[in-house]
Amino acid sequence: MTAKIEAKNLVKIYGNNTGHALELFNKGCSRSEIQKETGLTLGVAGANFEVAEGEIFVLIGLSGSGKSTLLRCINALLMPTSGSLLVDGRAIEKMPEKELRKLRGEKISMVFQHFAVLPNRTIADNVAFGLEIRGVPKEQRLKKAEEVLVTVGLEEWKNRLPAELSGGMKQRVGLARALVMDADILLMDEPFGALDALIRAEMQEELLTLQREIKKTVVFVTHDLDEALRLGDKIAIMRDGAIEQIGTSDEILAEPANEYVEKFLTGIDVSKILDASSISKWPNVLIRETESVSVGLYRMKRADTDYLFVLGPRYRLVGIVNKDDLVALSKKRETNLKDAIRKASSVPGDTIMRDIFPVLRESEKALAVVDENERFLGIITHNTLIDTLDERKGGDGIAEL
Amino acid sequence: MLNFELPKLEIGEAIEWFVRWVIANLSVIFDGIKTVLNAITGVLSSGMEAVPPVILILIFGLLIWLITSKTTAILSMVGLALVWNIGLWPQLLSTLVLVVVAVIIALIIGIPTGIAMTRSAKLEGAMRPVLDFMQTMPPFVYLIPAVMLFGIGVVPGLFATIIFAIPPPVRLTYLGITQVPEDMKEMAVAFGANDRQVLRKVELPLSLPSIMAGVNQCIMLGISMVVIASMIGAGGLGAEVMRAVNRLDLALGFESGLAIVILAIVLDRVSRNIGSGKETPADRIIKYIKKRRMKEESSHPA
């Protein structure tokens, strides 16, 4: 499948006469070196990414990391200095102005951090703004606006002025204004950044619910890691204009690409985000149900453990065997280990870490992690949890539990 | 050593030469302008003078009520009736015509200039000293080229008034548009608007209060200049003030001054209310008509 949005070596340098600055960048100069030498700001430093259709792609970074700049390159509010940005396979930097306006008016919609709701227009007129620019007749556009206002729960407010609305409601207007365009792509520039935490969580939930229905391609800018992890199908972490890592939340949390990403991730409560499958480890030793008692004892000895998970065909979890039971069987000269298999405690792979603790407390040994078909994914021991928290929070996490 | 003489730069002479050159070569244009403006002001003045003052005051009252409020309308009518009573009604009308025509022309030139300045930094840089010049040059000085170009009468008065009244609408239009939040403009562009749509649908509506402040200032400067313009035969209330000064006639001076104040206050209140966002009786009437129409539509579905 081709990507809906694709950036290739995209560079954005602010200002005029960017030639020299671009040369410096290509020579490998850093952002501050370019700034010192030419006085120009490097906004985006060679970004490469692909966004698949129907995906929520999150750009995250500290302020000044270039995430909003990169977002504005997608609908050409800012023109890339070099490199290419493709929307549906077409390079926006090569489009004439007229086509760009068409692209913005039909294919890409945008939601803004400070809402950008026009104070002199009623809510319905604000929502219909894009349609008005597109040239849709008044009655038709107001009708459409009303329909979308129902979706965001503001139909009662359609004839009011924005001054009467709260921040969260204003952003709903901003969202409705983008949705009414029925564009494939939704660009969201820190849309919930100006809202308080409770409203923000509510809006995130609404966005996810809505996304399940409308399946837009969303590029979402935020500086809030929890928000990124919650919403993003894919997350790109940016720093000084460059993308440090792109991946799913699990990938990024499990394997930070470098020290910066790792540092960026500290300070979040991993127990809320990590799930069983991402923290589980493949054990050193396992046993198949068809294998013998002596093989089991040998493996336990080799791995210095007193239990083994027993797997059936296609990695299906069958149970667990203890060292004592196997020893008893071998004394009876029994080779088949079936009699020693006990029920193993297991959790589904998408259980979040916080919910694993109570289960783990009850089981003496390790927890098996299984997928929806009861297939074995790995194990979680008491040590796994402690190690995970220790790695990410320098030990603070345990006290918090 | 230090008392050598620098040759004087003949700036004044250069300007005078320029104006004389303009008169000599472009008099056709100025004659045309003069004829048109004379006709417009003439028709307006004689038209209003033909209406009995009582009726005209009532009409003014109604118009003022529509765009402001009941109180303003009543007080305005009282003021205008007072002017009629002291016998300065024709003079008030000719001053009103002068101000209104001058202000309309000043706005037609000034507002687009202000908009153009927001689109071109070069023009803005060039206009700033020109506007400073226009605002600080003593207004009497404009009378000289006005007389040279148009002779004596209403039109040179208009000319001087227009030049004097243009800077505020230019500046306040420019200021208003540049103060429109960047994210509003960005939003419009992001939804596919072109420059004209950004201007019409975002910048002008959002800068309307500032532009209207410019209109208000334009009117106020226009009124103050009209008095000065009477020195070159523009007539109206200004001429009465001049006559009172020449004769040291305090009674006439005060009365004609008071008439100017009344006219200024009425025009100020009216122009200040336009674009202030307050609901006026006219708004209420429009709303009522709309509601009626909507009700009719819903009761007779097409």
pLDDT at B302 over 70: no
- pLDDT (0 to 100) of residue A279: 80
Percent of chain A clearing pLDDT 90 (strictly above): 33
The more confident residue out of B286 and B200 is B200
Mean pLDDT, chain A, integer: 86
Among B100, B8, B90, CA closest to B49: B90
Q: Which amino acid is at A43?
A: G
pLDDT at B1: 57
Say what the pLDDT of residue A151 is: 85
> Span B46-74, mean pLDDT?
92
pLDDT computed for residue A273 by the predictor: 66
Q: What is the pLDDT of residue A272?
A: 63
For chain B, first and last CA: distance in Å?
97
What would the mean pLDDT of B161-172 be, rounded to a whole number? 94
- Closest chain B residue by Cα to residue A118: B184
CB A223 within 8 A of CB A63: yes
Q: In the predicted model, is pLDDT for residue B231 greater than 90? A: no
CA distance B278 to chain A (A): 12
Q: Are A53 and A1 in contact (CB under 8 A)?
A: yes
Strands A346-348, A317-322: pairing is: unpaired
What pLDDT does residue A395 have?
Answer: 39
At A399 the pLDDT is 34
Model ipTM? 0.76
Q: Which of B168, B188, B176 is nearest to B115 (CA)?
A: B176
Please identify every stretch of chain A with a pLDDT value under 50, giving residue numbers as ranges. 393-401
Mean pLDDT of chain B: 90
Rounded CA separation A140/A48 (Å): 40
C-alpha separations of A328 from A209, A364, A371, B19 in Å: 55, 20, 32, 122
Residue B227: its pLDDT value, please?
83
Strand, coil or helix: A204: helix
Which residues touch A15 (CB under 8 Å, ≥6 apart)?
A21, A39, A40, A41
The answer to whether A118 and A161 are in contact (CB under 8 A) is: no
Instruction: Compute the distance between CA of residue A341 and CA of residue A359 in angstroms, rounded to an integer.
Output: 20
Distance from CA of B195 to the nearest CA of A (A): 11
CB contact under 8 A, A116 and B205: no
Q: Is A369 helix (H, G, I), strand (E, B) or coil?
A: strand
Give percent helix, percent strand, percent coil of chain B, each to the nearest 5: 85, 0, 15
Is the pLDDT assigned to residue B258 strictly greater than 70? yes
Does the distance separating the beta carbons of A181 and B191 come in below 8 Å? Answer: yes
Q: Name the minimum distance, in Å, from the CA of A152 to any CA of chain B.
A: 20
Query: Closest partner residue to B184 among A75, A104, A116, by Cβ?
Result: A116
**How much of chain B, in percent, has pLDDT values that exceed 90?**
63
List the single residue in A112, A130, A177 with the smallest CB-CB distance to B183: A112
Tell me if A118 and B189 make a contact (CB, 8 A cut-off): no
Digit-coded pLDDT (tens) for B120-160? 999 999 999 999 998 888 988 889 888 888 888 889 999 99
B204 reaches A (C-beta below 8 A) = no
pTM above the 0.90 mark?
A: no
Kindly state whether B192 is in contact with chain A, defined as any CB-CB distance less than 8 angstroms.
yes
Identify whether the C-beta of residue B41 lies closer than 8 Å to the C-beta of residue B158: yes
Q: Are B183 and A109 in contact (CB under 8 A)?
A: no
